[in-house]
Amino acid sequence: MPVSTTTLAPARLARGILLAVALTALNLRTAVTGFSVLTGDAAEDLHFGPLVAGAIGTIVTACFAIAAFAAPPLARRLGLERTAALAVTATTAGILLRAVAWSPTVMIVATVVAFAGVGASNVILIPIVKQHFPQRLHAVSTMYMVLLQVGQLAAPLLALPLAHAYGWRTAAGAWAVVTAAAAVLWFVAVPRSGSRSAEPAPAPVASRVSWRTPLVLGLIGLMAMTTLHVYTLVTWFPAMLEDAGLSSTASALLLSWFAGLGLIAAFVVPPLTKRLRNSYPIVVVCVALMGLGYGGMLVAPAAGAFVWATAFGLGVSTFPLCLTLIGARAADPQSASRLSGLVQGVGYGIGCVGPLTLGAINQLTDGWNATYVLLAATLLITLGAGWAACRPVPAPAD
């Protein structure tokens, strides 16, 4: 049985863990969207081209995938809170190293370190919330999804003014202040929270989640396609808009608008998923919006840029849907950790091909039209995966 935070420690510790969750969630995407608008300045300074920029985007999701597989066994060995502390510390170190990078190689190493930490945090937050706040699962889950979107929205808005005033390095490294504060909170929580109780042994049979089922395969497919679209757009949307004739400032604002619309999904999708017996209509609406966006970018990328950014921003609402389904279908924190690791590990692993591959297609074709057509075609996979993921059945066990 999950044990609430109030039985493990005083109310002050509960507030500390909640604040640590909040600060961690706030920084799950800042190092992605905050850097995408700085890529041009960094590339000019460090002398790298589109393939390296695409590789950085691919490294982000590849790190998410690898960390998603590594985090659950690490949490079983060290405990959830200690794993979170190490993950956020790695994120902080990577952000700082990226800010002082003196070569493309160092930039890539820094990206690996930072996003290995972010990837582990992606997985660990779900079971931490289920472990410490079982009576407020939907409220706290909604909070961290909202803060994830707030960080994703705020990062590009703050990055450009900071870069103009102090240079791209300061803008790239600024978020380390917040991640460092979160790391301190996690390290304070470790000795006082009974961290190892978060993963008791032996684990219940229900925690041994099998991937050979329609539900889990559907969740993996939905996460993979969502990741493919989100990180391709986060990496390349400013460049797509600039190539269509918009300014760098306008492109950054539209990227922020795209990211900020996730706030609507964070507020609406989790409670809506809880109320719907079958949440597949959410998938259908998202696919229609993404199709509208790619069609619009083919025919009128500059004239309708705000409309297409809006369609994309609402269309990737399948991301909070995936996270909500993982938490809802898992029986306990252990199965939540395993299901989260499996779905995010394979999903991000498949999705990581997007930024590099589509960047290479752009370089080969000297345009984005082939990219839009290919991304639109993958929406058929989203429809099929979403059908399986949204069926109202519990997560199966081996």
pLDDT at 238: 85
Task: Please tell me the distance from the alpha carbon of residue 237 to that of residue 251, in angstroms, as a whole number.
Answer: 8
CA contacts within 13 A on the Cβ side of 92: 17
Please indicate, yes or no, if residue 397 is contained in any of the structural domains: no
Contact 387, 222 (CB under 8 A): no
Please indicate, yes or no, if residue 396 is contained in any of the structural domains: no
- Which residue's structure tokens are 């450009």? 160
Task: Please tell me the distance from the alpha carbon of residue 326 to that of residue 270, in angstroms, as a whole number.
Answer: 11
pLDDT tens digits, one per residue of 2-35: 444 444 445 666 677 888 888 888 888 887 777 8
Task: Please tell me the distance from the alpha carbon of residue 6 to that of residue 20, in angstroms, as a whole number.
Answer: 16
Task: Please tell me the distance from the alpha carbon of residue 376 to that of residue 22, in angstroms, as a whole number.
Answer: 34
Contact 345, 69 (CB under 8 A): yes
pLDDT at 12: 65
Find the CATH number of the domain harbouring 363.
1.20.1250.20
Instruction: Name the residue among 154, 351, 172 with its Cα closest to residue 263.
Output: 154
Please indicate, yes or no, if residue 305 is contained in any of the structural domains: yes
162: containing domain: 5-389
Q: Which residues are 397's β-sheet partners?
A: 209
CA atoms 213, 216, 222, 224: torsion sign: negative
The single-letter code of the amino acid at 81 is: E
Contact 350, 228 (CB under 8 A): yes
Q: Is the pTM of this model over 0.85?
A: no
Number of C-beta neighbours around residue 109 at 10 A = 16
Could you tell me what percent of the chain has a pLDDT over 90?
A: 21
pLDDT at 222: 94
With both helix axes pointing from N to C terminus, report the angle between 11-26 and 104-132 in degrees, rounded to the nearest 10. Answer: 140
Instruction: Name the residue among 265, 280, 269 with its Cα closest to residue 215.
Output: 280
Contact 305, 254 (CB under 8 A): yes
Instruction: Name the residue among 299, 322, 246, 331 with its Cα closest to residue 68.
Output: 322
- Tokens at residue 116, please? 């290995």
pLDDT at 274: 79
Task: Please tell me the distance from the alpha carbon of residue 17 to that of residue 5, in angstroms, as a whole number.
Answer: 9
Task: Please tell me the distance from the alpha carbon of residue 229 to that of residue 222, in angstroms, as a whole number.
Answer: 11
Contact 83, 124 (CB under 8 A): yes
Please indicate, yes or no, if residue 21 is contained in any of the structural domains: yes
Please indicate, yes or no, if residue 336 is contained in any of the structural domains: yes
Query: Left (φ > 0), alpha (ψ -120 to 50) or beta: where does 210 sit?
Result: beta
Task: Please tell me the distance from the alpha carbon of residue 90 to that of residue 68, in angstroms, as a whole number.
Answer: 15
For the chain, which residues score pLDDT lower than 50?
1-9, 194-207, 395-398
Please indicate, yes or no, if residue 398 is contained in any of the structural domains: no
pLDDT at 380: 96
Domain count, the chain: 1
Please indicate, yes or no, if residue 395 is contained in any of the structural domains: no
CA distances to 33, 40, 42, 267 from 36, rounded to whole Å, are: 5, 8, 10, 25
Please indicate, yes or no, if residue 394 is contained in any of the structural domains: no
pLDDT at 267: 82
